[in-house]
Copies of this chain bind each other. A is one copy, B any other.
Amino acid sequence: MGNELKKLKNAPSFISWASVAGKKESEGPLGTLFDICDKSDRFGEDTYEKSESQMQYSALNLALSKIRADDKTLDCIAAGDLMNQCTGSAYGLLPFDAPYIGLYGACSTCAESLLVSSLLIESEQFMRCAAVCSSHFCSAERQFRYPLEYGGQRTPTSQWTVTGAGAFIVDRNGEGPYITEVLPGRAIDAGITDINNMGAAMAPAAYDTLKRYFTLGGKKPSDFSLIVTGDLGYEGHSILLDLMKKDGIDMSGVLRDCGLMVYERQRQDMHAGGSGCGCSAVTLAAKILPEIKSGTQSDVLFISTGAMMSPASVQQGNSIPGIAHLIHISNKR
């Protein structure tokens, strides 16, 4: 109806954020940047599902602690994860006394939760929101693929679910970085049926969102210091570059992918790269936001990408739709 690209009048500011990560992530290129790591991947809990909840709790609790803020200052928490019925968020965030808006956007949840939080603040009914999400390699493997004990062989295009959680507190007031624009994604089904090739399923959605952004917003890739997708991995990243190139848009200099930033490919043997809600969340919290804050980056397009499938939907012969939500983060309003 109107312009799908929303330029925010009340561009909210990130006022605090925190990252929590597991063993493999702590050994990767961003390892020294995470706030909290646990080499056991357990976070003090006896099941991996509870560990994931604990990661969400720890991330939001630390983000609040950094600014000495009480949970009662939150007008709402917008959160989600990959576990069935989003129990990572439901249980992990239960200790916080704040209204709760549960989201499901698969691995796009980081940008989705920030997009929803921004629009709630844009409504002038909310002053401060928390956006939280997580993924855990072990809870994801046993839910989506095989029990870890089975030791299933991984295909070259398969990605490694990041054990990580990110929490972001966005406020109507603050000194930046700011979320100045948001563009909600559309579900795009490119016909991919290979559950081990999520990158290929998500790349067309990222292409659709980026294409719409450049068309609607009148900007070009070189207007940004960084354009970063959530977890396309090597396969999806190269597909996205190709799709844009066919439209005459060369993004090779500016386009990166959190799934390629979080692990070191050869040394860590994670095949096509990182994935999961936690992938873009911990990269945003540990690397991108600090770089914007310090001035290393100025204008960043952050596009989390999700594959909206379930094991049952794939078993029943459905192809895998992707979705990509975009937020524009800037050091100025």
Contacts and interface: CB of A to CB of B under 8 A. Distances in A.
Interface of A: 1-2, 4, 6, 8-9, 47, 49-50, 72-76, 80, 82-87, 90-91, 93-94, 97-106, 112, 115-116, 119-120, 122-128, 183-187, 189, 308-313, 316, 318, 321, 323
14 contacts: A2-B75, A2-B126, A76-B184, A84-B84, A84-B310, A86-B104, A87-B308, A87-B312, A93-B187, A94-B187, A99-B186, A102-B106, A103-B104, A104-B104
Contacts of A312: 49, 83-84, 87
Contact of A74 (B1, B76, B126): B1
A170 B267 CA distance: 52
A100 B1 contact: no
Contact of A125 (B116, B119, B127): B119
A310 B52 CA distance: 14
A125 B6 contact: yes
Contacts of A310: 83-85, 87
Contacts of A47: 316
Contacts of A184: 76, 99-101
Contacts of A74: 1
B101 A116 contact: yes
A128 B312 CA distance: 32
* Protomer copies: 2
B4 A75 contact: yes
A104 B120 contact: no
A187 B116 CA distance: 19
A91 B319 CA distance: 9
A87 B309 contact: yes
A85 B4 contact: no
Contact of A123 (B87, B122, B183): B122
A314 to B, nearest CB: 10
B123 A1 contact: no
Given A87-B312, A104-B104, 17 more contacts: A1-B75, A2-B127, A6-B123, A50-B316, A80-B104, A83-B310, A83-B312, A87-B313, A87-B318, A90-B187, A91-B308, A94-B321, A99-B186, A100-B187, A101-B115, A102-B104, A122-B124
A104 B81 CA distance: 10
Contacts of A101: 103, 105, 112, 115-116, 184
Given A104-B102, A184-B76, A184-B101, A90 B321 contact: yes
A73 B1 CA distance: 4
Contacts of A116: 101, 116
A85 B311 CA distance: 9
Contacts of A313: 49, 85, 87, 90-91
Nearest to A316: B47
A9 B104 CA distance: 28
Contacts of A93: 187
A100 B112 CA distance: 10
A106 B100 CA distance: 12
